[in-house]
Amino acid sequence: ESNSFKQAVRTLHAAGHQISVHCIGDAATDLVLDAYEEAMNAHPRSDPRHRLEHCLLTKPESAQRIKDLGVVISTQPAFLRVGGAGWRAILGDARMERLCMTREWMDAGIPVALSSDAPTIPWYSPQVSMAGAIDRKTFSGQIVGADQAMTIHEALRAYTLVAAYASHNADTRG
Protein backbone atom coordinates (compact mmCIF):
# COMPACT_ATOMS: atom_id res chain seq x y z
CA GLU A 1 0.00 0.00 0.00
CA SER A 2 1.52 3.31 -1.09
CA ASN A 3 0.11 5.23 1.90
CA SER A 4 1.94 3.07 4.45
CA PHE A 5 5.13 3.33 2.37
CA LYS A 6 4.81 7.11 2.23
CA GLN A 7 4.16 7.23 5.98
CA ALA A 8 7.28 5.17 6.65
CA VAL A 9 9.36 7.51 4.47
CA ARG A 10 7.87 10.55 6.22
CA THR A 11 8.66 9.09 9.64
CA LEU A 12 12.25 8.20 8.72
CA HIS A 13 12.84 11.58 7.09
CA ALA A 14 11.38 13.46 10.08
CA ALA A 15 13.73 11.50 12.36
CA GLY A 16 16.69 12.82 10.36
CA HIS A 17 17.63 9.67 8.46
CA GLN A 18 19.00 9.47 4.95
CA ILE A 19 16.70 7.14 3.02
CA SER A 20 17.72 4.81 0.23
CA VAL A 21 14.98 2.91 -1.58
CA HIS A 22 15.62 0.15 -4.10
CA CYS A 23 13.57 0.70 -7.25
CA ILE A 24 13.89 -0.83 -10.69
CA GLY A 25 10.96 0.40 -12.79
CA ASP A 26 9.71 3.86 -13.66
CA ALA A 27 6.47 3.47 -11.65
CA ALA A 28 8.51 2.50 -8.58
CA THR A 29 10.78 5.50 -9.11
CA ASP A 30 7.77 7.82 -9.30
CA LEU A 31 6.30 6.34 -6.11
CA VAL A 32 9.59 6.86 -4.26
CA LEU A 33 9.92 10.43 -5.55
CA ASP A 34 6.34 11.17 -4.43
CA ALA A 35 7.17 9.85 -0.96
CA TYR A 36 10.42 11.83 -0.75
CA GLU A 37 8.72 15.02 -1.90
CA GLU A 38 5.84 14.67 0.56
CA ALA A 39 8.23 13.93 3.43
CA MET A 40 10.49 16.88 2.59
CA ASN A 41 7.53 19.23 2.27
CA ALA A 42 6.09 18.06 5.61
CA HIS A 43 9.44 18.24 7.42
CA PRO A 44 11.88 20.54 5.60
CA ARG A 45 15.55 20.05 6.41
CA SER A 46 18.74 20.86 4.59
CA ASP A 47 20.40 18.27 2.37
CA PRO A 48 18.75 14.98 3.31
CA ARG A 49 20.38 13.53 0.18
CA HIS A 50 17.93 10.66 -0.16
CA ARG A 51 18.85 8.01 -2.70
CA LEU A 52 17.35 5.93 -5.47
CA GLU A 53 19.10 2.58 -5.44
CA HIS A 54 19.32 0.77 -8.80
CA CYS A 55 16.96 3.21 -10.54
CA LEU A 56 17.23 1.22 -13.75
CA LEU A 57 14.23 2.65 -15.57
CA THR A 58 13.01 6.24 -15.40
CA LYS A 59 10.75 8.41 -17.50
CA PRO A 60 12.39 11.29 -19.41
CA GLU A 61 10.60 13.86 -17.23
CA SER A 62 11.86 12.24 -14.00
CA ALA A 63 15.40 13.61 -14.33
CA GLN A 64 14.41 17.20 -13.53
CA ARG A 65 12.32 16.08 -10.57
CA ILE A 66 15.17 13.96 -9.17
CA LYS A 67 17.50 16.95 -9.52
CA ASP A 68 15.02 19.38 -7.93
CA LEU A 69 14.56 17.10 -4.92
CA GLY A 70 18.33 16.75 -4.41
CA VAL A 71 18.11 12.99 -4.74
CA VAL A 72 21.19 10.92 -5.57
CA ILE A 73 21.05 7.96 -7.93
CA SER A 74 23.15 4.95 -6.93
CA THR A 75 23.10 2.54 -9.85
CA GLN A 76 24.80 -0.61 -11.05
CA PRO A 77 25.40 -0.72 -14.82
CA ALA A 78 26.59 -4.33 -14.46
CA PHE A 79 22.87 -5.17 -14.48
CA LEU A 80 22.96 -4.45 -18.22
CA ARG A 81 25.53 -7.21 -18.67
CA VAL A 82 23.88 -9.70 -16.33
CA GLY A 83 20.25 -9.21 -17.30
CA GLY A 84 20.48 -7.91 -20.86
CA ALA A 85 18.49 -10.58 -22.71
CA GLY A 86 16.05 -10.97 -19.83
CA TRP A 87 15.44 -7.24 -19.58
CA ARG A 88 14.81 -7.05 -23.33
CA ALA A 89 12.26 -9.90 -23.16
CA ILE A 90 10.40 -8.19 -20.31
CA LEU A 91 10.64 -4.55 -21.42
CA GLY A 92 10.83 -4.68 -25.21
CA ASP A 93 13.31 -2.81 -27.40
CA ALA A 94 12.15 0.78 -26.79
CA ARG A 95 12.13 0.58 -22.99
CA MET A 96 15.36 -1.43 -23.04
CA GLU A 97 17.10 1.61 -24.51
CA ARG A 98 15.99 3.62 -21.43
CA LEU A 99 17.76 1.35 -18.94
CA CYS A 100 20.27 3.04 -16.65
CA MET A 101 20.18 6.51 -18.25
CA THR A 102 23.47 7.67 -16.74
CA ARG A 103 24.20 10.34 -19.37
CA GLU A 104 20.68 11.79 -19.13
CA TRP A 105 20.94 11.93 -15.35
CA MET A 106 24.43 13.46 -15.30
CA ASP A 107 23.44 16.04 -17.95
CA ALA A 108 20.50 17.00 -15.71
CA GLY A 109 22.95 17.65 -12.85
CA ILE A 110 22.00 14.62 -10.78
CA PRO A 111 24.79 13.04 -8.71
CA VAL A 112 25.19 9.50 -10.12
CA ALA A 113 27.09 7.01 -7.98
CA LEU A 114 28.15 3.58 -9.18
CA SER A 115 28.46 0.43 -7.12
CA SER A 116 28.69 -3.33 -7.58
CA ASP A 117 25.52 -4.40 -5.72
CA ALA A 118 27.49 -7.39 -4.44
CA PRO A 119 26.60 -10.04 -3.47
CA THR A 120 23.53 -9.82 -5.74
CA ILE A 121 25.73 -9.49 -8.79
CA PRO A 122 28.45 -12.14 -8.82
CA TRP A 123 31.34 -9.71 -9.37
CA TYR A 124 32.73 -7.75 -6.46
CA SER A 125 35.22 -5.92 -8.64
CA PRO A 126 34.53 -2.22 -9.30
CA GLN A 127 35.86 -2.70 -12.81
CA VAL A 128 32.78 -4.72 -13.83
CA SER A 129 30.34 -1.96 -12.87
CA MET A 130 32.58 0.68 -14.42
CA ALA A 131 32.87 -1.37 -17.63
CA GLY A 132 29.09 -1.62 -17.74
CA ALA A 133 28.84 2.17 -17.48
CA ILE A 134 31.43 2.65 -20.22
CA ASP A 135 30.61 -0.06 -22.78
CA ARG A 136 26.96 -0.84 -21.82
CA LYS A 137 27.20 -4.35 -23.28
CA THR A 138 25.08 -7.37 -22.49
CA PHE A 139 26.65 -10.83 -22.16
CA SER A 140 25.84 -11.41 -25.82
CA GLY A 141 27.67 -8.23 -26.82
CA GLN A 142 24.63 -6.11 -27.64
CA ILE A 143 25.04 -2.45 -26.71
CA VAL A 144 22.21 -0.94 -24.71
CA GLY A 145 21.72 2.82 -25.01
CA ALA A 146 25.14 3.69 -26.45
CA ASP A 147 24.34 7.40 -26.07
CA GLN A 148 24.21 6.90 -22.28
CA ALA A 149 27.81 5.67 -21.94
CA MET A 150 30.11 7.27 -19.38
CA THR A 151 33.73 8.02 -20.06
CA ILE A 152 36.30 6.14 -18.01
CA HIS A 153 36.94 9.32 -15.99
CA GLU A 154 33.22 9.80 -15.30
CA ALA A 155 32.85 6.16 -14.23
CA LEU A 156 35.85 6.38 -11.90
CA ARG A 157 34.49 9.61 -10.40
CA ALA A 158 31.02 8.05 -9.98
CA TYR A 159 32.51 4.99 -8.26
CA THR A 160 34.67 7.03 -5.87
CA LEU A 161 33.89 10.71 -5.29
CA VAL A 162 30.17 10.61 -6.07
CA ALA A 163 29.70 7.37 -4.11
CA ALA A 164 31.31 9.04 -1.09
CA TYR A 165 29.09 12.11 -1.60
CA ALA A 166 26.01 9.84 -1.84
CA SER A 167 26.63 8.50 1.67
CA HIS A 168 27.63 11.85 3.24
CA ASN A 169 31.26 10.66 3.44
CA ALA A 170 32.95 12.98 0.94
CA ASP A 171 35.23 14.34 3.67
CA THR A 172 36.72 10.94 4.50
CA ARG A 173 36.28 8.72 1.42
CA GLY A 174 36.26 8.76 -2.34
C-alpha to C-alpha distance for 115 and 69, rounded to whole angstroms: 22
101: confidence class by pLDDT, cuts 50, 70, 90: very high
Peptide bond into 119 cis (omega under 30): yes
Mean pLDDT of the chain: 93
Report the distance separating Cα 100 and Cα 112, nearest Å. 10
Name which of 81, 87, 69 is nearest 29 in CA terms.
Answer: 69
What mean pLDDT comes out for the span 134-145?
93
Whether the CB-CB separation of 85 and 96 falls below 8 Å is answered with no
pLDDT in tens, 28-81: 999 999 999 999 999 999 999 999 999 999 999 999 999 999 999 999 998 888
The amino acid present at 14, given as its one-letter code, is A
pTM: 0.94
Distance (Å, whole) CA 108 – CA 171: 24
SS3 68: helix
